[in-house]
Amino acid sequence: MKSRLAASIALAAALLLATTGCTFSAEIATEKEYDPSDGVGTEVGDLAVRNALLIGDDPETLNLVMTIVNSGDTDRRLSVQWSAGGERITESVFVTANGRTAIGSPDQPQVLVTGSTDVIGGLVPLFLSYGTVPGVELLVPVLDGSLPEYELLVPSGD
């Protein structure tokens, strides 16, 4: 009788382990970091760059669209740098302390990435830095204005 009980318990334990054991080593998808939109993000010191993407119909002039969140107590000037024709071009974006700065929309400041030889659908490397904090290279996707949510973000040819 004891051997049947022990065998039943062992069989139940083996069945339980066999049906749930794979979750012990499985990676939990909700714990993976990812960018939930078309753009990409990164962190540079106190600054968090969110949903960065480049939009344009001509790769020669692309509008940088992104939001920068400053979690620090000091105003920062984020440098955005890219290569064009063998030269490094740098633009700056001012971000207030404990604040958020969005760029690229029609009613916001714009940074136009010019001289790119990349194609629509490709990735453009941008180097982001400020002060003495080590910078970060971010591969930013290039999209066109064919989607309704992006058509107003395409830089005009004026």
CATH of the domain at 104: 2.60.40.1890
Counted domains in the chain: 2
- For residue 41, the model assigns a pLDDT of 93
Nearest alpha carbon to residue 64 among 97, 94, 109, 107: 109
Q: How far apart are CA 132 and CA 64, in angstroms?
A: 24
- For residue 128, the model assigns a pLDDT of 96
Q: How far apart are CA 134 and CA 40, in angstroms?
A: 19
Residue numbers of the domain that contains 24: 2-31
Residues with Cβ within 8 Å of 86's Cβ and at least 6 positions away in sequence, in order, are none
Burial class (CB in 10 A: 0-12, 13-18, 19+), 62: buried
Which residues of the chain carry a pLDDT beneath 50? none
List residues bridging with 133 in a β-sheet: 130
Evaluate whether residue 158 is within a structural domain: no
Task: Give tens-digit pLDDT for 127-156.
Answer: 999 999 999 999 999 999 888 989 999 987
- For residue 24, the model assigns a pLDDT of 60
Evaluate whether residue 135 is within a structural domain: yes
- For residue 86, the model assigns a pLDDT of 85
- For residue 69, the model assigns a pLDDT of 96
Q: How far apart are CA 144 and CA 130, in angstroms?
A: 29
What global pTM score does this model have?
A: 0.78
- For residue 10, the model assigns a pLDDT of 79
Contact 94, 101 (CB under 8 A): yes
